[in-house]
Amino acid sequence: MMKPIDFQTDPSKYRHWRVEYDGPVARLFMDVDETGGLFDGYELKLNSYDLGVDIELADVVQRMRFEHPEVKAVVLQSGKDNVFCAGANIRMLGSASHAHKVNFCKFTNETRNTFEAAGAESGQHYICAIKGACAGGGYELALACDHIILTDDGSSNVALPEVPLLAVLPGTGGLTRVTDKRKVRRDLADVFSSAEEGLKGKRALEWGFVDEIVVRPKFDEKVAACAANFVENSKRPSDAVGIKLTPLARTFGDDGSVTYSTIEVSIDRDAGTATIDIAAPTDSAPASLKALHAKGADTWMLRCARELDDAILHLRLNELEIGVLIFKTSGEADKLIAQEALLLENRDDWLANEILLYWKRVLKRVDVTSRSLVAIIEPGSCFAGTLAELAFAADRSYMADGDFEGDNRPPATLTLTDANFGPYPMSNDLTRLQTRFLGTPEQVEAAAGQKGVALEAEEADELGLVTFALDDIDWDDEIRVFLEERTSFSPDAMTALEANLRFAGPETMETRIFGRLTAWQNWIFQRPNAVGEAGALQRYGTGLRGEFDMRRV
């Protein structure tokens, strides 16, 4: 059995990245250990990467925001001579299972999005300083930064060679960022994406693929000046003191269960389901911002977000045959709402803001997870505010109506707060309620009128906030039938159905990446032209070109 992939790490364990801090500027060096692959069978040559490299990178970005709030500019550069990054490791892609390839691409996309979000939302901007070859996923790393500086030395280049070399697409939003973010003309993007050698110097600048080109003798000076400019224009506080992201408290059971301090994940392998049960806070909210900072990573809102994030990633990569995720909650809504309110009322404080932004990212990760999502709102539940977003993220929600015989817990309620009306937009830039009521926006206004009210099933149903409200006579049977039916359907069909239905409304760069790109890359990764015995991905490096079935599909 393959060893489970662990998404938790810390700087003491890094093998592929190092960071140098200098006041408001951090230098992030990509220096991949060739022998440090997540699996056997390949070497990470030329700063190529696999999921393990990206797990470390995601940790770097997260810690930068919480542990080093004084940083306003991050310079991303290579720790090796004459190569920036060769992209995702081809041997790894060629040998990986289809599910791993697709989940790898999804995680790398989510990580790249955090670069952009750090600049746009937190004033922590990323600058990519390229010396040497920058190809494929390496250029996609650069594209996620706010500014790209390329050495003009006749050899350094940027390239997206996946189509001509591997018969696949750039898997981490490269094509989308070229056209949507950098606004490159599509005919020039077509030329660029069809050329193995990519672009160098002046043409890369003229066509819009980089922001600056600089000769080698002046390169470091130009990069430093660029970082200084971002520092000067950042609104991030200069005197902020970070908090330590302490290790998560986790226990793995022999049955596949995972126990955290706020979350219990239980697995029913026969049913093909995992239940994620979140316990609301039992203690009072910090009395002040000073108390919030003192509590740091132990404050419930941050602790729960980190644990939910880890649980979702664990289920995605390590429990591939679990097709349905069931969200349940328990506890006192008032205590959760008080914890949340402290953050919402103090968004001008860097830490309060970062915790809310982290919840935004975690909820987006839930949205794009390829599992059926169902919320079970039963007696004693705590689907309020931030946790109510999980009910709105679900493909279906079932709410218990009234008292249940033999159950002394209070009747199920659902409580809306300010958190449901703005702080946590989806990838389409709409809230989950706006997406839910896309054709009837007046229902969002009606729901807003009930903020702070503990809505019981009949009221929640009338407002359109749940899929079904069921009494205790129908409760067990209806949910059992739904789960049995859901897990009997084709997982491929379910993934496609859910991804199509979750992102109604306007298309954004993110929805294009997670919708269109993921769908096409998923398909291409199964085609013999790429992954067949004579496919380009399998033959890469052998000296033989791929053999293609030339019929268009």
pTM, 2 dp: 0.96
Q: pLDDT tens digits for 347-381?
A: 999 999 999 999 999 999 999 999 999 999 999 99
- Is the pLDDT score of 519 beyond 90? no
Architecture of domain 12-233: Alpha-Beta Complex (3.90)
Q: Do domains 12-233 and 251-497 have the same CATH topology?
A: yes
> How many CB atoms sit inside 10 A of residue 422's CB?
11
Q: Which pLDDT tens digit goes with each residue over 256-284? A: 999 999 999 999 999 999 999 999 999 99
Ranges of each domain in the chain: 12-233, 251-497
Q: Which tokens in the block code for residue 374? A: 């169902």
Strands 157-159 and 133-135 turn out to be parallel
Residues 433-471: tens digit of each pLDDT: 999 999 999 999 999 999 999 999 999 999 999 999 999
Per-residue pLDDT tens over the stretch 285-304:
999 999 999 999 999 999 99
Band the pLDDT of 326: cuts 50, 70, 90: very high
Query: Which tokens is 414 given?
Result: 């659902």
- What is 469-498 written as a DSSP string? EE-TTTHHHHHHHHHHHHHHS-HHHHHHHH
Instruction: Determine the Cα angle at 395 with ends 100 and 410, to 5°.
Output: 120
Read off the pLDDT band of 545 (50, 70, 90). very high
pLDDT score for 105: 92
Average pLDDT of the chain to the nearest whole number: 95
Question: Identity (one letter) of the amino acid at 98?
Answer: H
Average confidence (pLDDT) over 73-93: 96
Task: Choose among 320, 344, 340: nearest CA to 332.
Answer: 340
The answer for 331, left when phi > 0, alpha when psi is -120 to 50, beta otherwise, is left
* CATH code for the structural domain at 251-497: 3.90.226.10
Q: How confident is the model at residue 2 (pLDDT cuts 50, 70, 90)?
A: low
In the structure, what pLDDT confidence band is assigned to residue 521 with cuts at 50, 70 and 90? Answer: confident
Segment 132-159 shows an average pLDDT of 97
3-state SS, residue 268: strand
pLDDT at 406: 87
- Determine the pLDDT at residue 1: 45
